[in-house]
Amino acid sequence: MGDDKEKVLRFFNLKLLFRPSRAQLIRNLWDQFYQIYCAIRDDTTNPGQLKIQALDWLSLFLTPSQGDPNDPRTFIQGLYLPSHVTPYIHTLVYHGWELLEKHRRWGLKAFSCSAVEKKNHNQVSTFFHKTLKNGGNPLKRKSAIQEIIEYENRTLYFTYNPLPKSKRIKKLRIK
């Protein structure tokens, strides 16, 4: 996390955007996440303690709403639903401590997904810029994934197997 993001995470005044009670709930969520973030970066962190911290943070993340949604006097809005738990959150909570325990000498930085995210971004960009987007000849229509994989295979093939360069000069006549 960059310094600017860390400052926002730690010091942003949520009371400018939310009611005080809601701002405090969100502040607690961010503060607990920051504690986990610091624990992950600390070489002396106990994996068991990280597991407890992550599970506590998840239970705060999944704070349910309380009261009658139609009565603003008694309704207290929760934070997130279980469907909002991403694969990254799942990995942090249920496997982060295991990775820390088994691979302590590398730390969790070794498990960054940035390369995978970049590859996914490049492939999606390729699909939307350089493929037929399931168009073209309707009889030979392919799935988007197949088009992306075939394009990548062609790119890799010609990267490692360049075509021989033609020595003949080609002349074009324009009438």
Residue by residue, pLDDT tens for the chain (175 residues) are 667 888 887 888 989 998 898 899 999 999 999 999 888 888 888 999 999 999 999 999 999 988 888 988 888 888 999 999 998 899 999 998 998 888 877 766 666 777 778 888 887 777 777 655 555 566 666 777 787 788 888 888 988 988 877 777 777 888 7
- Which of 90, 107, 124 corresponds to the end of one domain? 107
Range of the domain at 95: 3-107
Q: Are 131 and 97 part of one and the same domain?
A: no
Q: Are 93 and 147 part of one and the same domain?
A: no
* Residue 12 falls inside a structural domain: yes
What is residue 27's predicted lDDT score, i.e. its pLDDT?
A: 94
* Residue 118 falls inside a structural domain: yes
Q: Are 98 and 149 part of one and the same domain?
A: no
- Which of 107, 132, 152 corresponds to the end of one domain? 107
Q: Are 35 and 101 part of one and the same domain?
A: yes
What is residue 108's predicted lDDT score, i.e. its pLDDT?
A: 66
For 94-115, b/e burial (b = at least 16 CB within 10 A) is eebbebbeeeeeeebeeeeeee
Q: Are 25 and 93 part of one and the same domain?
A: yes
* Residue 171 falls inside a structural domain: no
What is residue 109's predicted lDDT score, i.e. its pLDDT?
A: 67
Q: Are 133 and 91 part of one and the same domain?
A: no
Residue 66 φ/ψ, nearest 5 degrees = -130, 145
Cα four-point dihedral sign 70, 73, 74, 79: positive
What is residue 167's predicted lDDT score, i.e. its pLDDT?
A: 74
* Residue 72 falls inside a structural domain: yes
- As for how many domains the chain has, the answer is 2
* Residue 150 falls inside a structural domain: yes
* Residue 169 falls inside a structural domain: no
